[in-house]
Structure 1
């Protein structure tokens, strides 16, 4: 199973139709599950938390994370060198790099202000971090500006998903051992909200999850050892 920070994802994506203005087209969508104390999920829906991170490349999707409304910004942004920038640092925090962040409803030590994730669309608490094309993600191979990889711009991507997923903020109880981040769900595609008969069409080819030698388990559609 892919583990942060040691894996990349490579694929070719050609988007023919994007699904309209309310289509959240994910260049990359990763998901996992662990408890707020860092322990693995065990089926207890009161303490298990599903965690998601998604890069939305529909250029009509705007950032909802604003310096004047910190509720839907993660508490901090981590640079590739490990430096953390708090969301109150208006001069340096990359607000436009984030669409939204929402926290798990069973977290007991959340920084204020905060916004909780929808408790009804999942059988257990969830945490969601959605990011947008921005220079902040360029070092990881992700798009740095709107329109890259969108309709009429087919591309082959090699995304350093492992290293980015290690740097992204996810809630954990203070004083607990940092969780080893494993990602059993790695995919791409769209969710279309309030559709008026919108159509999305895309092709994906040569999808590889690239992991270091020493991994013995085949992952996803196809994996390759380096």
Structure 2
């Protein structure tokens, strides 16, 4: 599952200016052969904070509490004013404007949102139905904003489901989805 959006580092909506607009992605990788690049010895591949469902934030230097295995990789937008060091800027060649990418892996940290909690879940042979709270998860994930700016109200207009082969030779991928519903809670206010 990949969700995408766009907002400027100051929290303002994108307006078509490719120098200040930032495309942002959150992606769940379910391939059980993928390991976390985020670890205590490679903090630049970890988002600076992990936020618990309660709202408590854990800094990536907290080796006892930060769930390193929940993250594959994080990269900051190349036009970030003050990215927290160490940082890793996103690939500037795959998008005409700056981008920010957060890739997560199956981990108990995502269980409260309905996501896979261990390797192999949602993969070949696991035919169960998943009910994901994509919106609630996306609100808890770290995305960069310039210091002192008003937190952005996140909207995710792009939802993609499928395969992406990353840095591989000539491979073929097969992806099967039997049913897909998007449920949007009605706001009666």
- State TM-score, norm by structure 2: 0.96
Task: Tell me the CA shift for residue 193 of structure 1.
Answer: 2.9
- The runs of 5 or more residues in structure 1 that have no matched partner are 1-27, 216-226
- 1:30-109 matches, cutoff 5 A: 30-109=3-82
Higher relative contact order, chain-length normalized (CA < 8 Å, sep 6+)? 1
> Among 124, 135, 147, which residue is 1:174 paired with?
147
Instruction: Give the whole-Å Cα distance in 2 for the aligned partners of 1:193 and 1:88.
Output: 28
Instruction: Give the whole-Å Cα distance in 1 for the aligned partners of 2:87 and 2:168.
Output: 29
2:170 is aligned to 197
- The runs of 5 or more residues in structure 2 that have no matched partner are none
2:138 is aligned to 165
Q: CA RMSD for the aligned pairs?
A: 1.2
In terms of fraction of residues, the more strand-rich structure is 1
Q: How many residues align?
A: 188
CA distances 1:61-116 after superposition (whole Å, capped 9, x unpaired): 00000101111110010000000000000000000100000000100111111010
Instruction: Give the whole-Å Cα distance in 1 for the aligned partners of 2:166 and 2:93.
Output: 16
Instruction: Give the whole-Å Cα distance in 2 for the aligned partners of 1:185 and 1:109.
Output: 27
1:132 is aligned to 105
Mean alpha-carbon deviation: is it higher for 194-203 or for 51-60?
A: 194-203
Instruction: Give the whole-Å Cα distance in 2 for the aligned partners of 1:213 and 1:205.
Output: 26
> Among 78, 90, 94, which residue is 1:117 paired with?
90
Instruction: Give the whole-Å Cα distance in 2 for the aligned partners of 1:152 and 1:205.
Output: 13
